[in-house]
Structure formats: structure tokens, C-alpha cells
Chains A and B, each alone.
Chain A
Amino acid sequence: MARVIGCVTTSHVPAIGRAIEKGLQQEPYWKPFFDGFKPVHRWLDQARPDVAVVFYNDHGLNFFLDKLPTFAIGAAPQYASADEGWNIPTVAPFTGDPDLSWHIINSVVAADFDITTCQEMVVDHAVCNPMALLWPGGKPWPVKIVPVEINTVQFPLPSAARCYQLGEAIGRAIARYPGDLRVLVMGTGGLSHQLDGERAGFINKEFDREFMASLTADPAWATKYSTVELVEKTGSQGVELILWLAARAALAGGAREVAASYHIPISNTAAGMMLLEPVV
């Protein structure tokens, strides 16, 4: 049977893609951030996942306000990146796993999640940058992906509690998948940051630290907040931590921290990364 072998959560700031393109990883500004991924690379060499289920939010590439799903799951054979309009380099397309996608779709709809399915889907920096951070060097992607997209663009957003439940349901679905797959779950975005309004530049280090600690000690901790409360505490875009929550919830049961980093600032963002393993 398939099993979830780990969970990586990371910021997906667009500037990361530009830094990779320009080879700035060892520049003083970037070094603390990129060096945080070295233990993740060592872990991935050993763990050898086959598939990554990536919880992310679209920023106006695949979806617009004309039709904006709350939860969307990719079921495509391939996912390309594309021009996002602001000078972010594209990356090689990702191979999908439609069989696993449909297994997850069937399972979560049976569990009363009303999701949108996508047989065509382009993925933006929120998928591409985390993938490039985990597997640098421009070699062919060693994993297939199943993108799980959650709306953070237009309120009402799904609640943190609901995102957590979706993650749990996807974790259960993976555990019941008959294929012998090693699955990595990923959650991208965050941590605290705000791009818009007079409060642009808002960062909340204390909350970020507490949130990161909660993912091992008390993973549902942040689900007590409404999404508007999360905007207040973490910034308009810090609310992306709901993607971290969904990914963590897919890693059922207890978790052990293998690696973590937290660095201020990357662009306007408090950049966070965690690698968690299931406690068996």
C-alpha cells in the first residue's frame, strides 16, 4: 500500500525563482534561506519519494475570479508552468499521476468534500519554487505530482479547520491506495507577510514561531482561528499557512521534526521551512 513518508512545508516567494535563475544561492541575502534546505536534500536522497502531493494556492494563473474553486485537485497527465506576468522563470513541466489523483478525488468526495477536478492545469510559483528548492539543479523531476489547490485569493476562504480536515482525508486516501508508492506531502506559502495596503510589510515572528512549534506538538492548534483572524495575526498572505495545515494533517498521527528553518526577510516574507516525518 502507499504511504506518506514525510511532509515538507515551505515558503514559495516568487523572488526565490529569480534567485535560482541568477544563481544567487550563496549570496549573503539568500544563503541562510537556501542552506536551510541542505538537510532536506540529504533526507530526500534516503527517502526517495515517488510522488509529491502538493497543497498550494494559485495566484491568478490557472484560476480567475470568473470561476474560483475553494478546493481543486489536479488529475492531469502533465502540469506545465507558464508566464505569470511578472518575470518569473518557467520550469520544466511536471508529470502527473492521474490514477492516484482519481483515487484521492473519489475518496475525498465520498468523505463529503465538494471539490473541483482539473484535467488541465497550469501551476504557478507556489508549486514550481518549492519543487526547485527540494530538487535543485535543473535535473528531470524525480517525482510525479498531484496538485491540491486551495483558494486564498477571494474571501470567504475555507476555514483552517476545513483545510485540516481535507488534509486528513487525503492522508487517509493515500494510505488506502493499492499501489506501492512512497508519497511526500508538501504545503507551500507563508509564513507571515502582507503585500497589500498600508500594512504592507507586516511580519509576526512570535506567531510564526508558535505555529511552527505547533505542527509537531499540537498540529490542529491554528485551526481555532478564523481566516480573518489569521490575516490579522499573519498578514493578508500569511493566511497561506492553511496550506501548511492541510499538508501536516495529511501526515496522519504524530510527527517528528527532521529539519526546520526560519528566516526574515525573503522579499516581504518571513520564510519558513519544516520537514516532518511520521512517528510510527
Chain B
Amino acid sequence: MTTTQQPIPGTTIFDGEQAIKGYALNKMCMSFNDAANRAEFLRDEDAYCARFGLNAEQRAAVSRRNVLDLIAAGGNIYYLAKFAGIFGLDVQDIGAQQTGVSKEEFKARLLAEADGE
């Protein structure tokens, strides 16, 4: 039993099941702590993904640069952030992409949370 059962809407609990599913993807993203690896990924994305043994779902999600798909494929946001960083994307870009709004709209939503602070 690897799953922590208790669904929270719009949220994936990164538990043992996800950790198994996403291991190759997360390991590749972890490698992006090294600038030489980031450059190597950009130079030959196919070869780099193959070296880490990404499955078809993970490879497709990487191609699409789609964070929700990457999470569904077992990605953990802490490692995925390193992948996003290669393209100069910050956590607000990622937030906007996952919630289907523009970055400006996403930032405005966060500012709205401050009302009555």
C-alpha cells in the first residue's frame, strides 16, 4: 500500500505511488541543478530524455511543457520547477498555466487574496 488516500481537489499528494511512477522524470529534472545538464537537454532533448528512461507519457508531457501532464506522469513540483527554469518560467508562470489563466490574471488573483489583510 503506497497511497495516502484523501483526495483534495486540484491537488496531487506526492506519495509512494507517485514517487514510483515519476522516478525517471524526477531524476532527470533533478539533474538540471547542473548547468551543463541544462545545456545538454537543450542541445538534444530526445537523447537526454532517453538517457533517463522516460516513458511515453512522461516524454510527451515534457514535449508539451505541460505541468499538469507532468504531474499526472508522476512529476513532483520541486523537481519540475527545475525543468521550468530551463525555459525561464517561474512559479507564477507555472501557476497561470495550470489554472488556465494569463500570468497577469494569476497575479491579480493572488493580490485579491490580500483584501482585508
> Is there contact, CB below 8 Å, between A196 and B11?
yes
B84 within 8 Å of A by Cβ?
yes
Are A264 and B10 neighbours in the complex by a CB distance under 8 Å? Answer: no
A268-B110 CB under 8 A given contacts A84-B82, A86-B84, A197-B12: yes
- Check B90 against A201 for contact (C-beta < 8 Å): no
6 interchain residue pairs of minimum CB distance: A86-B85, A199-B10, A198-B10, A85-B82, A196-B77, A265-B110
Is the pair A200, B94 in contact by a Cβ cutoff of 8 Å? yes
Report the count of interface residues on B (CB-CB < 8 A): 52
Q: Does A225 contact B (CB under 8 A)?
A: no
Judging by beta carbons under 8 Å apart, are B82 and A264 in contact?
no
The chain B residue sitting closest to A14, CB to CB, is B91
Q: Is the CB of A194 within 8 A of B11?
A: yes
The tally of residues in A whose CB lies under 8 Å from a CB in B reads 39
A21 within 8 A of B: no
Complex: A196 Cα to B82 Cα, angstroms:
14
Give the chain A neighbours of B77 by CB distance below 8 A.
Answer: 195-196, 236
Tell me if A15 and B94 are in contact (CB < 8 A).
no
B38 touching A155, Cβ below 8 Å: no
Contacts of A201 in B (CB 8 A): 95, 99, 106, 109-110
A264 lies within 8 A of B84 (CB) = no
Interface on chain B toward A: helix, strand, loop, or mixed SS?
helix
Residues of A bordering B, CB below 8 Å: 14-15, 59-61, 64-66, 82-87, 153-156, 194-201, 203, 205, 228, 231-232, 236, 262-265, 267-268, 270
Asked if B26 CB lies within 8 Å of chain A CBs, one says yes
> Smallest CB–CB gap between A207 and chain B, Å?
12
**Interface status of B44 (Cβ within 8 A of chain A):** no
Q: Which residue numbers of B lie inside 8 Å of A, CB to CB?
A: 4, 6, 8-16, 19, 23, 26-27, 29-30, 32-35, 38, 67-68, 71, 76-82, 84-86, 88, 90-92, 94-95, 98-99, 106-107, 109-111, 113-114, 116-117
In the assembled complex, the Cα of A66 lies from the Cα of B24 at a distance in Å of 11
Per the bound structure, the CA–CA distance linking A198 and B12 in Å amounts to 10
- Contact partner of A61 among B16, B33, B114, CB < 8 A? B33
B78 surroundings in chain A (CB, below 8 A): 59-60, 153
Task: Closest B residue to A198 by CB, please name it.
Answer: B10
A156 to B19, CA, bound (A): 11
